[in-house]
A and B are shown apart, each in its own frame.
Chain A
């Protein structure tokens, strides 16, 4: 490969000279500086929603292993690896993925960020928001968190924030709706 460009951390571009506070900032993720983290309760919530899949793949692995032992089908080992490969990254990376989420309800716009490896940072001015929605599944409700989804006229922008404490989600929805009306911009 060619010479490595500037270090991935946008540290040079981050205006406030303060010590990093969140995990995402310390990890030097793109655009993480100054963003609020989402609730840590999202980690157990996500684990819980992954549980069914994990149990299923565990059962598959167990089945394969049993076949290997019972009938001496050695190639079943290969099949046994597949569910592991399928589930393990999710189990290992969930905490970091959750900590990589961030949002900031700024003066004029809402900034959301997500992703560890494939990271995206979205900026949406309040005046362009067309609809706001709060989703709360049974698992999320148990942990007292909710997911906020918003959209603009563009198919490309808009976004979501997962793992917001319920009051925070309500506050953001209120904010987006109010600011949206105040600063309504046409297409």
Chain B
């Protein structure tokens, strides 16, 4: 399997039309039923029922035939130049993800697809808007193989080279359990295998990573079985050094410590009590007030559920193609974020997470739409200090200080006045001057903000694209200005700085922006200090 460089044109799984088409069909049936249900029941005759059923069957058949033809015409191809997707019934459309524009690859497994043992591969490209390519649906095992291939194409690793850190890539999903091991890449070459021998302490802490990252040929049969089980549980995210793993108990506790959810829940309970009271005392208003609260309650449940979904069973590991993450309760997904692709990282510490010291971290990657529930870019839904330090060390080239992780902790906890750096000074910004600080560190700028939820945005200085200084009439009177630091796909807003500081910062950062990285091969870029060097993970602790 590893001898072929090109993944020739292939079709997606034959079940694809069913998985993509069932919603449309269900929608048609639901609309028809909902609009005519009373008429249907009132005037029920067998003749009509047969006629209606026949029409529905006809529509279904037509839909199936059409989608089958469209499935037949849809092929994907992975070559050294990138990924190509051809589709279309009459006019052939050809969508290409060129090699150099591929930012990341994620494998998503919505509930239905998961039941069928299928998965969707999404190739994220640099660029705004709808810049992704979906290969849907393929078998879970194929998905893993495709993912590996695309990432290797993107990273310009020859297809026959081994993949360190992903070596024990056991087949996954219900269908995967049958095959022994067409692991996309057998382990090998030591020189390019930094993650091959995870450092001892970590291995002892998580015994599974000992063989996960190690030697499949040496693994015993019993190990293999548990390996396979674990691979199925973790969607194949078993290879490589463990960076973060979120136990369910921590996830639940983090939700219970979420102020907005708590306030919402308390409000919902109070409202329900009020409505019931109304129901018992005054005629006719109770139901109405319950009905008013219903959408809000549903929204609350939905947001809580999406939080659960985005953190459930979260595992992230370091592989040679970047950070690999798995998450999801009903719909599972695995994402891949290359360390060279991260434009900035934002850390959040809500009020009640300060006690246990938990942090939420999200990154910006050019091309991955942040509005898409930000699942792929949420690199740590709720992590401990050690996990944050490891995640940070594997994704960002570092702040350039002696002890980055304690500095980050300091940024997340200390009052603004103790942070140093610069920030709003005028008395006009009575909130900002107590919460906002900007620190220029050797490797990055750190922007702290937030009253209850402490927020720290860290932008590596070499990523700065441009600067914009803005000043309105009020700011002119108090002698301040807002500096906006542009990075690909996002920006960092340094609000209301004193004018002199803003001008000085603009000078410094403009120099960074122009002397940043020259366009060159990715491997010569500055790498995160911990990426591919597990021995340092302990030092970061």
Contacts and interface: CB of A to CB of B under 8 A. Distances in A.
Interface stretch (B7-15, B76-84, B473-481): B473-481
Contacts of B485: 156
Contacts of B85: none
B31 interface: no
B471 A127 contact: no
A121 B128 CA distance: 24
Given A4-B478, A156-B484, A123 B517 contact: no
A170 B473 CA distance: 35
Interface residues of A, number: 39
Chain A CB within 10 Å — which of B427, B465, B476, B510 has the most? B465
B428 A2 contact: yes
Nearest to B514: A125
Contacts of B343: 187
Interface string A85-125: 00000000000000000000000110000000111111111
Contact of B514 (A108, A119, A186): A108
A1 B476 CA distance: 13
Contacts, number: 144
Interface stretch (A6-14, A72-80, A161-169): A6-14
B500 A30 contact: no
Contacts of A58: none
B466 A157 contact: yes
Interface stretch (B64-72, B258-266, B406-414, B486-494): B486-494
A158 B466 contact: yes
B463 interface: yes
Interface string A105-149: 000110000000111111111111000000000000000000000
A131 B487 CA distance: 16
A13 to B, nearest CB: 5
Contacts of B252: none
A155 interface: yes
A54 B470 CA distance: 30
B519 A184 contact: yes
Given A5-B478, A5-B479, A185 B466 contact: no
A154 B469 contact: no
B467 A122 contact: yes
Contact of A8 (B341, B428, B479): B479
Contacts of B480: 5
A interface majority secondary structure? loop
Contacts of B471: 30, 118-120
Nearest to B427: A2
B382 interface: no
B428 A30 contact: no
A149 to B, nearest CB: 14
A13 B489 CA distance: 32
Contacts of B477: 1, 4-5, 8
Interface string B444-488: 000000000000000000010111111111001111110011111
Nearest to B463: A187
Contacts of A154: 465-466, 486-491
B216 interface: no
Contact of A185 (B126, B472, B500, B516): B516
B520 interface: yes
Contacts of B481: 30
B518 interface: yes
B506 interface: yes
Contacts of A184: 518-519
B426 interface: yes
Contacts of B107: none
Contacts of B525: 186
A152 B426 contact: no
Contacts of B499: 5-6, 10, 30
A127 B467 CA distance: 13
Interface string B498-531: 1110010010001001101111101001000000
Interface string B409-446: 00000000000000000111000000000000000000
Interface-centre pick from B472, B486, B490, B498 (highest chain A CB count, 10 A):
B486
A30 B486 CA distance: 20
A153 interface: yes
A121 B518 CA distance: 25
B486 A118 contact: no
29 contacts: A5-B477, A5-B478, A5-B480, A5-B499, A8-B477, A31-B469, A108-B514, A109-B510, A109-B513, A118-B473, A119-B470, A119-B472, A121-B470, A122-B467, A122-B469, A123-B466, A123-B469, A124-B466, A127-B514, A155-B486, A156-B466, A156-B490, A157-B466, A157-B484, A158-B466, A185-B517, A185-B518, A186-B520, A187-B463
Interface of B: 126, 128, 341, 343, 366, 426-428, 463, 465-473, 476-481, 484-491, 498-500, 503, 506, 510, 513-514, 516-520, 522, 525
Interface of A: 1-2, 4-8, 10, 12-13, 30-31, 108-109, 117-128, 152-159, 183-187
